[in-house]
Structure 1
Amino acid sequence: MEIFNPTTHTFDEFDTATQRILRKTVDYFEDLGKARLLADTRDRIWYQDFLDFNRRERVFATFLTPKALADGDRDKRWDTARNARMSQILGFYGMQYWYVWQVTVLGLMPIWQSTNAAAKKRAVALLDDGDIFAFGLSEKEHGADVYSTDMLLEPGDGGFTANGGKYYIGNGNQARMVSVFGRRSDTPVIDSADSTRRISDDEYAGYMFFAADSQHANYRLHKNVVDSQMYVAAFDLHDYPVASDDVLHTGRAAFDAAMNTVNVGKFNLGFGAVGACENAMFEALTHADNRILFGHRVTEFPQVKALVSDSFARLAGMKLFSERAVDYMRSANRDDRRYLLISAIEKMSVTRAGQKVYEDIADVIAARGFENDMMFPNGLTSMFGLPRLEGTVHVNMALSLKFMPAYMFSPTDVGLLALKHVPAAAPLTGVLRWAGQRAAGVVPRLRSETAKATVRRVPVRRDAADDSFLFHQGPSSGLGAITFPDWRPAFTEFAHIPNVAVFTEQALAFQALLAAAEPTADQRSDVDFLFAIGELFTLIPYAQLVLEQSRIEGADTDVLDHLFDIFVREFSRHAVTLHGKPTATPMQQSRALDLVRRPVADLDRADRVLERARGLAGAYTMKP
């Protein structure tokens, strides 16, 4: 795992055309220089210069045009691996540049998912001209609650007339195609108050996605709702004419397009966070390692050593998970939808890890991080925003929890279901031994079911291919039918690493807790309680993908052990939180404490990780 260094990175994992565009993008920012970049940010200058670069080099056109619409251009495709790398680079140089790219991704997704050939042709032409796109979902009163949209379309002669407002719409000032979500005025609003009720397809009939032009006279742009270089628009459509060629989706397809767009778009947030944290680490270590206080380098103070080694290992985990997550996204198909869990964790867990890196590094860089010649202050604001974009942490946690039963319990684990009859005071080791015996007793008769549930190992995907399934994800329902292979072998392979072994004990104890003291009916509707469960659950697939990528890369054992030291501490903290929940049952309170562990301390290992982090000092400085 290497920290991205613009001066040395070759992008040799990609084809020649991709390498050229990524290098051109890096060179653009380096030639722009740090002083100009920071001045434009402070003065909130619209980044037309960057958009002109995009037009000249056909960056968005090459990376965001699906192969099926490329008209023979061999370099055009929608390749999640290189799109993720672009998100990382833009995050490195400033989240405002990442944002204009990110919102263009969101705006294009409903178009590429559509069967409207005319709209697709128009989008391809606009991309070739260097234009940007926008995603018109959120509203001021309803946020991203798609059930409650007030954007109304009145049917007319061969088309519709749209009236309503949208709020918090990135690129809404210049996007030539804004993918707008609304509903027909002659259909009722869906009552979604009862989350357990299945909504029929007929009830979705009134939903629509259509394309609007921000330069149209009936498109009323009000303001930028944030004080920033990026433009996050509030706009109204006033008697806006919507022709048949503007309609992208109707009915249930419109609803699914909204959900599937976010599935793809939110994946980029983690990579933006990775890039921002990498730049912050360079700045922080360059400052702290060269600053002498009380006769010592700042990086020699015990508290700073702990902050730096933790931050370096945490960033390594962000990168390892994200790189492996790319493979899950690219290998997805109708029979393998594990990407829905992975994308939610990429958005939720990686961005929050990035926020934690920034918080800790702020104590390392101290006052220097607030000076006006530093990139650090820009990232500080953005890193608190990323976890709250494209669905809050709570929304993505709720989504992740839908996968918990299938992920945590493979068919051979059915014996664990009887654990609800085990007394709360029974020792955990005995409980797990008994559960294993119960499971072993039913394995023979479950062999056929196990075979059916077997899911293939996800291959490494850095090939120059089009990820076309992302435009054909299908209905956003049926999450309960998604299967997962046994998660435990990934941990067993690394059991020789002390803190991986400890974390594995915690994960198994959590599995026993779920079986012995599953959430009650009331708890399943208590989001606060479920959030505590979800914090524990999502750490396990996060750790799994870290280990899978470590196998692929041959990750540094010291860094991996230190990262799992952090995981052990975090798992214990969440367990104590669960124990303290007022609605936790006595069994759940008891089992929650079984999850608490002390990581295996190794001061020599921590010092070796620290030395790796100190190697960043002076290794990169942006051109002035």
Structure 2
Amino acid sequence: MTAFALGPEQEEWCARLRADTAGRLRPLAERGELGRVNRPLVAALGELGLLRRLFPDGGSPRALDLCLLRESLAQECTEAETALALQGLGACPIVQSGTAEQRDRWLPEVAAGRAVAAFALSEPGAGSDAAALALAAAPDGPGRWRLSGEKCWISNAPEADFATVFARTGADGPRGITAFLVPADRPGLGGQRLDMLSPHPIGTLVFDGTPVTAADVLGEVDGGFGVAMRTLNLFRPSVGAFAVGMAQAALDAAVAHAGTRTAFGGPLKDLQSVGHQLAEMATRVESARLLVYAAAAAYDRGAPDIARRAAMAKLLATETAQYVVDAAVQIHGARALRRGHLLEHLYREVRAPRIYEGATEVQRSLIAKELYRTAARPPAGAAPRD
């Protein structure tokens, strides 16, 4: 296939996944408690083999496969999509940078849906500026540290069974950060839930002299910023896929409603203003989908400009989803704002992706930086200017 068309087998797989999600995962999600880890849902993701697809044969997934997985889940059940994505985000650093012992201990548990993962990067004073994190890892003897400080806005916290935690072991800036794999039962580790708009669990992690050793390091000491960025570069296009899935669900709902709802003597779909609105929504959704697929395909082939492509995909897809969900609510009117309506749910869900894993403004800054860097580099074979 190309970045612009899925093959028949991929289309069939996505259709089967949407059917499985609607039939098995959505009922589990509906029985879950808002703001709490839904362990039966996570276990079902494991039983269906979906979590195993996050690290096939012990390695990282193809970015395009991850996008198709997240988009298909999101169309039918955002809770299932988010539960899967959080497992991948927390476990990906182990896949990419973990030791054999770390991988053997945790990856089978994550794949089976028995262990819940967290990715602990953000702090009260370091969200979009990840290099400014301040969680201290103070030396406590050779190959030993004690963590002190707080992580905030962490999905699955404080209920996760382990977290990938980024702490400062060296000088200020990105080069003094180390990634640690920290089990939830470590002494001095606590936290609390945060009451957030998003229905999935978000909370804090508080470290009070929590001990970690060289055996807990992911990658190299002072190399944690690279661990974080490699994970985010893989997951950013798939955040766009999550957004596309939500946008498609909202578009489908709006089209169906416009065909059955009567107003001014006929169905809404016969009003030119509604038809034009639906056409605009559909065009934006397809544009975002194509950019997401193109970024994922570029990642899979090892393209050098993946940072720019991933940022563009996340930017366009998340902004598009916000627009499409809002427009779908407008077409539905007040009924879309009733608690429990699909669009009421999507209206709450769609806001967060414009912030996490790099806010919209951060993506624009990253894209601009890459444009300047490319413009400053002379074309291959070009003669130097006087």
TM-score (norm 2): 0.87
Compute the displacement of 1:101 (Å): 2.1
Match of 2:53? 63
Compute the displacement of 1:295 (Å): 0.8
Match of 2:287? 317
Match of 2:247 among 245, 270, 277: 277
2:45–2:84 contact (8 Å) kept in structure 1: no
- 1:177/1:449 Cα in 2 relative to 1: closer, same or farther (>3 Å)? farther
SS state at 1:211 partner? strand
Given the alignment of the two structures, is residue 53 of structure 1 paired with residue 49 of structure 2, yes or no?
Answer: no
2:308–2:367 contact (8 Å) kept in structure 1: yes
Instruction: Return the letter of the residue paired with 2:61.
Output: W
Question: Which stretch shows the higher mean deviation, 257-266 or 345-354?
Answer: 257-266
Match of 1:377 among 320, 341, 344: 344
Compute the displacement of 1:155 (Å): 1.7
1:273–1:386 contact (8 Å) kept in structure 2: yes
Match of 2:365? 398
Match of 1:104? 87
Computed over aligned residues only, the root mean square deviation of the Cα atoms, in angstroms, reads 2.9
**Number of residue pairs the alignment of both structures matches:** 376
Match of 1:126? 109
1:223–1:234 contact (8 Å) kept in structure 2: yes
CA distance in 2, matches of 1:44, 1:254: 29
Compute the displacement of 1:396 (Å): 1.0
SS state at 2:163 partner? strand
Structure 2 counterparts to residues 41-190 of structure 1, below 5 A: 46-60=37-51, 62-67=52-57, 69=58, 78-114=61-97, 116-130=99-113, 131-157=115-141, 158-184=143-169, 187-190=170-173
Match of 1:500? none
1:46–1:229 contact (8 Å) kept in structure 2: no
2:37–2:156 contact (8 Å) kept in structure 1: no
1:179–1:212 contact (8 Å) kept in structure 2: yes
CA distance in 2, matches of 1:213, 1:225: 24
SS state at 1:312 partner? helix
CA distance in 2, matches of 1:403, 1:33: 40
SS state at 1:289 partner? helix
Structure 2 counterparts to residues 1-16 of structure 1, below 5 A: 12-13=9-10
Compute the displacement of 1:24 (Å): 5.4
CA distance in 2, matches of 1:54, 1:180: 24
CA distance in 1, matches of 2:54, 2:198: 25
SS state at 1:167 partner? strand
Compute the displacement of 1:39 (Å): 6.2
SS state at 1:230 partner? coil
Match of 1:295 among 250, 265, 269: 265
Q: Give the gaps of 5 or more residues in structure 2.
A: 1-5
Instruction: Return the letter of the residue paired with 2:95.
Output: W
Match of 2:202 among 208, 214, 232: 232
Match of 1:339? 306
CA distance in 2, matches of 1:169, 1:151: 14
Structure 2 counterparts to residues 11-22 of structure 1, below 5 A: 12-13=9-10, 19=13
SS state at 2:118 partner? strand
SS state at 2:260 partner? coil
- 1:410/1:162 Cα in 2 relative to 1: closer, same or farther (>3 Å)? closer
Match of 2:20 among 27, 30, 34: 27
CA distance in 1, matches of 2:373, 2:177: 32
2:17–2:73 contact (8 Å) kept in structure 1: no
Match of 1:360? 327
1:94–1:378 contact (8 Å) kept in structure 2: no
Structure 2 counterparts to residues 516-555 of structure 1, below 5 A: none
CA distance in 2, matches of 1:49, 1:39: 10
Match of 1:254? 224
- 1:28/1:102 Cα in 2 relative to 1: closer, same or farther (>3 Å)? closer
SS state at 2:138 partner? strand
Instruction: Return the letter of the residue paired with 2:38.
Output: Y
Match of 1:555? none
CA distance in 1, matches of 2:246, 2:152: 26
CA distance in 2, matches of 1:246, 1:301: 61
Compute the displacement of 1:258 (Å): 1.9
Structure 2 counterparts to residues 586-601 of structure 1, below 5 A: none
Compute the displacement of 1:177 (Å): 2.7
- 1:143/1:366 Cα in 2 relative to 1: closer, same or farther (>3 Å)? same
CA distance in 2, matches of 1:217, 1:29: 41
Given the alignment of the two structures, is residue 326 of structure 1 paired with residue 319 of structure 2, yes or no?
Answer: no
CA distance in 2, matches of 1:40, 1:10: 35
Identity of aligned residues (%): 19
CA distance in 2, matches of 1:207, 1:33: 39
Instruction: Return the letter of the residue paired with 2:311.
Output: A
CA distance in 1, matches of 2:268, 2:9: 36
- 1:373/1:107 Cα in 2 relative to 1: closer, same or farther (>3 Å)? closer
Compute the displacement of 1:189 (Å): 3.0
- 1:160/1:352 Cα in 2 relative to 1: closer, same or farther (>3 Å)? same
CA distance in 2, matches of 1:239, 1:11: 54
Q: Deviations over 1:446-486 (max 9, x none)?
A: 8x449xxxxxxxxxxxxxxxxxxxxxxxxxxxxxxxxxxxx
CA distance in 2, matches of 1:409, 1:304: 46
- 1:38/1:103 Cα in 2 relative to 1: closer, same or farther (>3 Å)? closer
Question: Which stretch shows the higher mean deviation, 340-349 or 146-155?
Answer: 146-155
- 1:248/1:154 Cα in 2 relative to 1: closer, same or farther (>3 Å)? same
CA distance in 2, matches of 1:39, 1:12: 32
- 1:159/1:46 Cα in 2 relative to 1: closer, same or farther (>3 Å)? closer
CA distance in 2, matches of 1:262, 1:392: 12
Q: Deviations over 1:251-288 (max 9, x none)?
A: 55212222222212222111111111111122212112
